[in-house]
Amino acid sequence: MPATYQVINPATESTVERVNLADLAATDAVIEKAYKTFESWKKVTPGDRAKLLRAFAQIVFEHREELAKLEVENSGHTIGNALWEADNVANVLNYYSASPERLFGRQIPVPNGIDITFKEPLGVVGIIVPWNFPMPIASWGFAPALAAGNTVVLKPAEYTPLTAVRLAQLALKAGLPEGVFNVIVGKGSVVGNRFVTHPKVRKVVFTGSTEVGKQIMAGCADQVKRVTLELGGKSANIIFADSDIEKAAAAAPGAVFDNAGQDCCARSRLLVERSVFDKFMSAFEKAVKNFKVADPSLANTDMGPLISKKQLDSVQSYLTETVAFTGSAPSGAGFWMAPTVLLPKDTKSKSWNEEIFGPVVSVLPFDDEADAIKKANDTEFGLSGSIWTNNSSKAIRVARAVESGNLSVNSNSSVRYWTPFGGYKQSGLGRELGPDALDSFTEVKNVFIATDN
Ligand code: NAD
């Protein structure tokens, strides 16, 4: 009997489905299949590979509502977010479908011959996905990997396997050959770890906690295996006195409570210039009280439940600091929590330093530009962040000074599939999305051809 896992709807605590968890032998078999298929997939002409990826994108678009509904049930995401997520998968596939024919090498001038470079696929790419954004994060790995001519084995998180399994079925329906895009459901310690140790997996793309990311990086070192890491975050939302305070305050709940704060880009440190602290906080309180926490399947819901009881307990353990105010949340079944605003004592406080990964934000004042930069950078993480000011010179200065991979000015949006995404410091290694992501799924091969014989 294979081990199984009961998938729970976090809004109701009812069982959605029971899935089988793969063991080591099943993992090895899938890796072997992907390895064999690589031989034929890498030979598919660039134009045909592009066509297949476009067909995959189209079929995802056609199933966006079904995929979104599945994500609402499995992950408690709001329907608005889940539709965006399904569309994001299709958009990422479409974006990288334009790359097989554009995977250019170079011709480099050399004496006595011609020198050319090729971007060759790596082979089997193992992708390990967390539970917070199951669909988009999977596609940020598999779309460029497939476009570059690699085959993929993908492991969704234990809590949230359903959309990944469906995407694999849709890939086959779109015409991708069997064995090119493989989804295997199982534990991180079994399936995920096998991606690290199996010599036929040439690269691991890991998104998840910094703790596990470090283990993956250390494990991959053993085979000098390529690795991309997208890890934790503790990003700042910096509000300067010269910004549009009403606008910044109205947008601040979404910047941290979206997806119930289970977002690596969550702006969970709110830094407010001292001279406008009270003004900002009173507008922010109104916005938090209006942030609607409710049944995620309703179109006007802003925030759903947390993913699990375990996550809820972990987040609530941070509520030992002074609470400024909270929003509201449903009671009864489901892993619900009200958005909560904390006033930590100082920058040493636990909530100010640790990635809480829930609907909790800590607020501190700052004195001037230098103090804001110092406080924002006082963390081992560096993934995201926002800067609110109407002074464009200051915006550029601060954006250049904050040690983070993705910053927004007068906005809290972090992700566009056509711009690079990734972290400084312990938030990760490498970049996903955007024009350069293909490079991390290829090896550069240099070939010299003598012409003097
Ligand atoms: P996690 O590290 O517990 O698990 C992530 C994935 O790794 C899961 O699929 C899990 O099964 C697998 N895994 C666990 N142990 C493993 C092991 N020893 N070997 C191989 N695989 C293993 O993280 P999580 O709780 O699922 O996700 C939350 C974390 O992800 C947060 O820290 C968050 O910041 C981070 N995250 C980062 C980004 C980013 O882009 N930087 C995006 C989303 C989430």
* Mean of per-residue pLDDT scores for the chain: 98
pLDDT in tens, 49-79: 999 999 999 999 999 999 999 999 999 999 9
Inform me whether the pLDDT recorded for 284 exceeds 90.
yes
In a domain, 301, yes or no: yes
161 lines ligand 1 (CB under 6 A): no
pLDDT at 69: 98
Inform me whether the pLDDT recorded for 1 exceeds 90.
no
For a substitution probing ligand 1, which of 24, 27, 92, 132 has the most ligand atoms within 8 Å of its CB? 132
Own/partner contacts of 29-34, CB < 8 Å, gap of 24 or more, are 30/153, 30/182, 30/184, 31/124, 31/126, 31/153, 31/194, 31/195, 31/198, 31/200, 31/201, 32/200, 33/179, 33/182, 34/124, 34/151, 34/152, 34/153, 34/179, 34/180, 34/182
**CA dihedral sign, ordered 155, 87, 131, 405:** positive
Residue 4's pLDDT band (cuts 50, 70, 90): very high
Percent of the residues in the chain that have a pLDDT greater than 70, as a whole number: 100
pLDDT in tens, 218-274: 999 999 999 999 999 999 999 999 999 999 999 999 999 999 999 999 999 999 999
308 lines ligand 1 (CB under 6 A): no
For residues 155 and 126, the answer to whether their CB atoms sit within 8 Å is yes
423 lines ligand 1 (CB under 6 A): yes
227 and 269 housed in the same domain: no
Which CATH number goes with the domain that contains 388? 3.40.309.10
pLDDT in tens, 25-48: 999 999 999 999 999 999 999 999
Structure tokens at 346: 């100082």
Residue 180's pLDDT band (cuts 50, 70, 90): very high
pLDDT at 453: 81
State mean pLDDT over 215-219. Answer: 98
As for how many domains the chain has, the answer is: 2
Which ligand 1 atom sits closest to the C-alpha of 428?
41
DSSP 102: G
Residue 451's pLDDT band (cuts 50, 70, 90): very high
In a domain, 373, yes or no: yes
State mean pLDDT over 323-330. Answer: 98
Inform me whether the pLDDT recorded for 411 exceeds 80.
yes
pLDDT at 436: 92
Distance 155 CA to ligand 1 centre (A): 11
In a domain, 367, yes or no: yes
In a domain, 386, yes or no: yes
Distance 327 CA to ligand 1 centre (A): 28
Residue 115 CA, chain-centre distance (Å), reads 38
Range of the domain at 97: 4-231+427-450
Distance 133 CA to ligand 1 centre (A): 11
Catalytic residue among 73, 230, 355, 432: 230
329 and 441 housed in the same domain: no
197 lines ligand 1 (CB under 6 A): no
Distance 333 CA to ligand 1 centre (A): 26
What are the CA-CA distances from residue 11 to residues 72, 162, 260, 329, 335 (Å)? 9, 16, 12, 11, 6
Residue 179's pLDDT band (cuts 50, 70, 90): very high
pTM for this predicted structure: 0.97
396 and 274 housed in the same domain: yes
321 and 363 housed in the same domain: yes
392 and 434 housed in the same domain: no
In a domain, 421, yes or no: no
319 and 443 housed in the same domain: no
User: H helices within 155-276, ranges in order?
Assistant: 162-173, 193-197, 210-221, 245-257
pLDDT at 350: 97
Which CATH number goes with the domain that contains 88? 3.40.605.10
Residue 120 CA, chain-centre distance (Å), reads 26
Residue 93's pLDDT band (cuts 50, 70, 90): very high
134 and 177 housed in the same domain: yes
179 and 275 housed in the same domain: no
129 lines ligand 1 (CB under 6 A): yes
68 and 91 housed in the same domain: yes
pLDDT at 2: 80
Cβ–Cβ contacts within 10 Å for residue 177, how many?
Answer: 14
131 and 168 housed in the same domain: yes
In a domain, 422, yes or no: no
Residue 442's pLDDT band (cuts 50, 70, 90): very high
66 and 136 housed in the same domain: yes
In a domain, 420, yes or no: no
220 and 240 housed in the same domain: no
Percent of the residues in the chain that have a pLDDT greater than 90, as a whole number: 99
In a domain, 368, yes or no: yes
pLDDT at 207: 98
Strand, helix or coil for residue 259: helix
Active site residue 65: no
Active site residue 264: yes
Catalytic residue among 71, 264, 265, 273: 264
The label of the residue with tokens 């990734």 reads: 422
